[in-house]
Copies of this chain bind each other. A is one copy, B any other.
Amino acid sequence: MCSRNVVKFPDFDLAAIYVSDAQYNRNIYFDTSPQAVSLYLLYNHWLPRVLVYFFILVDMSLAVFEEPAVLPLPTWATMLVELLCLLVFTVRLVHYAKVIPRDKFWKDPKNICIICIVVLTLIDMIIYGALTATNCYALRWSRVLRPLLLVNVTEGRQLRRAFRSIRNALPEIFYVFLLFMFSVLIFSLMALKLLGKRGLKTMDGSPYFTNYLEIVFDLYVLVTTANSPDVMMPAYNASFIFTLFFILYIFINTYIFMSAFLAVVFNNYKKYLKEEVRQLVRAKRHKMVRAFAVLQERREEGGELVVTQANWNQLVRLVQPDISNAHRELLWSVCDDKNQGFIGKLAFVQLADLLNIEVITLKSRPHPLQSICPTLYLSAPSRLLCRLVQHRGFTIMYDVIILANAVFIGLDEENPMISNSEWVFLFLYLLEILLKLYVFEPRSFFSKHSFWNWFDTIIVVSALIATIINSALKSVGGYTSRQILDIVFILRVLRLIRVVDSIGRFRTIINTLIRIGPAILTFGQLILVVYYIFAMVGMELFKEKVKFYDEDSNDPAKAYCGNPLLKGTTFAQLNYCKNNFNNVMSSFILLVELTVVNQCNGFATVTHVSARIFFVLFHILHVVMVIFVSFVLEAFYVEYSVDKGDLQTSLERKIEELELAVAQEKLQDNLVNTMETIDNDLGAGQSPTANRPTLMFKIASKRYRTVDAFLQRMFEADLDPEDLAENDDAEAQTNFANPSFSSV
């Protein structure tokens, strides 16, 4: 590594790769030969990454077309598509194998997993093809493996981390669960002894609480509250003393154990996540140290190793080509505190974090109309209009209009007056947007962070188009398309959401929820993996056991969902026939229903009592996950409302020093709001902007480019900066690759 010191022209590409890896927390150990580096660059290009996810999606959605299918396709067609997918995954894996050293490749479990998945799928396809060709019963068992691809691709870091956190917390959770099951078993034994001999009957006349296993199951379901008063009614009708038993049971098993579960999950999650983030940060600094080693030079003999501003500039331009010159200079001035023209290792290492802070560069431009026709735009009536639109009353007026619109939507739209009023409202909304465009500079109005402006415009314009199409169709054929009408209705109602933006507190909550979006997406994938596996297994176990008949079907089997075993059961009585596993769509919907309330008696009736195991397993798994996910979201939510990190503060200080900051009182509000008010200010009368610099910076303070960056910030207080910064390079060499990230 030290040999680089004497090289005249440092390898900027290599350094840029290190910085970019540090910025996005990629932990891939690649060869540094020029060929391997260019392969690595290709590997990290957005196109192959998107393609891999696209083909995983295609692979998973094949379930829609395979037997039992929503839209049946011939077997050879789905097989061909699946082969194509497998080919893509193999190519991607081979590419990865070329990038990293061979021994690292075979040590990494995620590569082994992908190879296994591909091979097993191929075997399954051959067996399935052979069996269907000979008309035997065949099973596509390899379909449960598909979602595992999501976990094992290189880009699934977040998902792997989530799985690791759950796996690490599992032993502790397991002990609480065992104790919970022990409590259920003891309570069941007591119920058997107390209630079994009293000759009580349940609602449908069967003996009450006489079979131990049935009692265990009933009491387990009681914890999920699905059979809440029913299971207790026979005992309650006999004597109110027995309710004490049930109340005690619910208190202990639903409330106390749930609290214990939450606490255990919370403790363990925090513990392991902190350790992971610590390693993440350490790996990041190692990579920055490597980049530094590439660019370093010695200013004077025996002096410190430094990086010059010129080299630094070229590096930043390579890492982030779209960065503005002003922004880059700002970053340099933060790094080079003393204006020396070069920076040491410690200042250089900050770069990855600095690049992850979103700094919004605001340019105050005059309104285009002002340039085209200045006399008119700056005339007295025009300026009055500008002032009117910017007045608080304008916002309040439109809030009132939205409320009035809500009332009109609620009324019967077949009344011609009501349906015509829609045109009035559409006109008013369009007018609002046009007025705002007249007053504010269009490019800042439609800037990247002006969420509500985009939302408004898209909703209003689509509503306009849909309404016009709808009335055109109506006037031509007197025919109203139900689909278009549905879209019109949805758009109309969505418009009402805008009112949330006018109330400060609501805006804060909504913005926080929007910001934790990426975290929700990660855990959404986690849930998708589990649901997909259960849907595949459930389809094989329960397909065609329960059939759905159309509303107008006259088949007598309709009353019992096409399965005589269901005759007279609550399942058929409540008309749950469509809750079945007959295709992947129904399976997913049913699993969501089970997530909300776990009821499985219907399926236990049509197959066997042991089918309950499937549902209990799903319930346990999903409770663990939901607790986990809700805790994670909540932790994120809490963390979002705390103060900013050190680095951001130093950046902000610099911005303020340079007198480039947006007025302080604006900064205190949240981002989306601030952006709008800034837009207002900059677009305003144009006179006050004259005595301000034409370029302004604003830190998107609580928005992070990556989830990793956010996690790092979350545990900043607990991480020891010195421990991380002063690592030996030697040590960095040894555990650089995947420091404990190698396992799933």
Contact = CB atoms under 8 A, between A and B. Distances in A.
Contact of A247 (B260, B512, B592): B592
B233 A574 contact: yes
Contacts of A190: 489-490, 493
Interface residues of A, number: 78
B186 A497 contact: yes
A93 interface: no
A254 interface: yes
Nearest to A236: B578
A337 to B, nearest CB: 32
Interface string A179-213: 10010001001101110000000010000000010
Nearest to A70: B240
Contacts of A233: 574-576, 578
A175 B505 contact: yes
A24 B374 CA distance: 77
B593 A634 contact: no
A669 to B, nearest CB: 16
B586 A240 contact: yes
B637 A194 contact: no
Interface string A229-266: 11011001110100100010010001110111011001
B589 A193 contact: no
A597 B505 contact: no
Nearest to A232: B593
A457 B192 CA distance: 25
Contact of A266 (B193, B505, B638): B638
Interface of A: 175-176, 178-179, 182, 186, 189-190, 192-194, 203, 212, 225, 228-230, 232-233, 236-238, 240, 243, 247, 250, 254-256, 258-260, 262-263, 266-267, 406, 409-410, 413, 486, 489-490, 492-493, 496-497, 500, 505-506, 509-510, 512-513, 520, 548, 551, 574-576, 578-579, 585-586, 589, 592-593, 596-597, 599, 626, 629-630, 633-634, 637-638, 641
Given A232-B593, A260-B637, A263-B634, 19 more contacts: A175-B506, A175-B509, A179-B500, A179-B509, A193-B413, A194-B486, A194-B489, A194-B490, A228-B593, A228-B596, A229-B599, A233-B576, A236-B589, A256-B520, A256-B633, A262-B634, A263-B633, A263-B638, A267-B641
15 contacts: A179-B510, A186-B496, A189-B409, A189-B410, A190-B489, A193-B490, A194-B486, A229-B579, A229-B596, A233-B574, A247-B589, A250-B592, A254-B596, A256-B633, A259-B633
